Amino acid sequence: MVNRMQFYIDGAWVDPAIMKTTPIVTPASAEEMYEIALGSKADVDKAVIAARRAFASFSRTTREQRMSILQNILEIYKTRAKEIGDSISDEIGAPLAMAEQKQAGSAIAHVATTIDVLKNYSFEERIDSTIVVREPIGVVGMVTPWNWPINQIACKVAPALAAGCTMILKPSEFAPTCALIFAEILHEAGVPKGVFNLINGLGPDVGAAMSEHPNIDMISFTGSTRAGIDVARRAAYTIKRVSQELGGKSPYIVLEDADFEKAISKCIATLFQNSGQSCDAPSRLIVPKSKMAEVANIAKTIADGYRVGHPRAAGIHMGPVVHRGQWEKIQALIQRGIDEGARLVTGGPGLPEGTNKGFYVRPTIFADVTNEMTIAREEIFGPVLAIIGAADEDDAVRIANDTPYGLAGYVFSGSTERARNVARLIRAGTIYLQGGSLDSSAPFGGYKQSGNGREWGRFGLEDYLEVKSLAGSVEPNRS
């Protein structure tokens, strides 16, 4: 039985300083499943004391000791991955197979990659007569989202452990169970007490207290740009490092020499995965203006083939979105697209056919969208695609970059070399070419209002390291 009424602090499950709870609602039926405890500043203070005390010893552990801990975590995690997938399906509405394979499976990839990185990483280098040392930054506050919950927990916790940091995690209050199971896994794996701490809570309470805390050295935040701005403002008073992965409005450029059936099918599959609730989802499809009618017809045929329903039902491609507030926001933006003159190709407001409760959204395609329309500017975070026409390749790049976001981009062409050349012009942290996927060892993060810092692989490890110069410690090179 997962412990939902206590927090994991200093190696033990403890009661909140003040008992306050919130219900967890399954989006599949809008029914309450259970309650969890919510933390406060007093709980954060307690966790920070534990993490600060543990840092003195954990920061001095050897590479081999930290690798052993991570290997233990990996092996124990594999025995509980199905349980984690089940909880994610229940709490965010992801189809069960997707939750078990992609959602839960992502953490295995991040921990395994971190072990490989740590095995060969050089924490020291010589520059003339100076030895440059990379050492753990200190106590890290981590705030993770609900849309890919265990993925974001693993890609923060694993490299922080590898670096020798201690940490306090505040997972999303909409998807808390996978984090609680992860705490149990770390405890069983032998993570020393105080190194990892978990407090469930709300952003304005626990998240704000962590951001402002003078004894937290770094905040690693994944969430909306609006919330990221608040975190950065609060953190500024203590000059702590802030690493953020925020929102996106990613362009998907299809050039005139591409296979349109293949390109559009890949775009929609990527967007509709997780019910459109991915920060790097390709929600703006940019195509040659002359191909608008053809593209719209292809997109309609593909979207109309998607089955929406209960995440545990057979043959379902897409489940609900996470909660009522998210559903209402998506409905309002779909209506805004209609009101502003975009052509509704398929989908639209309201529940999909065959559903009468839960937070399900109709797979929706708009054509003849201009990049000034609200549905082309705002992150919808749902299965809504805006098709935008471009005069030529240069115009497609201009439209792609005409956004405050810069998390990801996509390019599809008949030539990989041409796609790569266009990708170099897009101002975003990750560009997916020809329907490819990102390796777990490659960096992930954004430009502009999509954040700063990088996660995954070596870049993720280095996010948790500080750099120190030991000047004059060796004889300079005389070559």
The model's confidence at residue 477, banded by pLDDT at 50, 70 and 90, is low
Q: Is the pLDDT of residue 175 over 80?
A: yes
Taking the C-alpha atoms of 400, 402, 404 and 405 in order, what is their torsion angle to the nearest 10 degrees? Answer: 0
Q: Is the pLDDT of residue 230 over 60?
A: yes
State residue 177's pLDDT score.
98
Q: Check if the beta carbon of residue 148 is closer than 8 Å to that of residue 109.
A: no
- What lies within 8 Å, CB to CB, of 147 at 6+ separation is 92, 274, 277, 278, 279, 322, 381
Active-site residue identified among 245, 267, 379, 455: 245
The model's confidence at residue 1, banded by pLDDT at 50, 70 and 90, is confident
Q: Is the pLDDT of residue 65 over 60?
A: yes
- Whether 279 is a known active-site residue: answer yes
Percent of the residues in the chain that have a pLDDT greater than 90, as a whole number: 97
CA distance linking residue 378 with residue 333, whole number of Å: 9
Compute the average pLDDT of residues 82-101.
97
Q: Check if the beta carbon of residue 321 is closer than 8 Å to that of residue 100.
A: no
pLDDT digits (tens, 9 = 90+) for 9-39: 999 999 999 999 999 999 999 999 999 999 9
Q: Is the pLDDT of residue 168 over 70?
A: yes
- Whether 328 is a known active-site residue: answer no
Compute the average pLDDT of residues 223-238.
96
pLDDT digits (tens, 9 = 90+) for 241-252: 999 999 999 999
Q: Is the pLDDT of residue 302 over 90?
A: yes
pLDDT digits (tens, 9 = 90+) for 354-382: 899 999 999 999 999 999 999 999 999 99
State residue 479's pLDDT score.
52
Active-site residue identified among 165, 178, 267, 279: 279
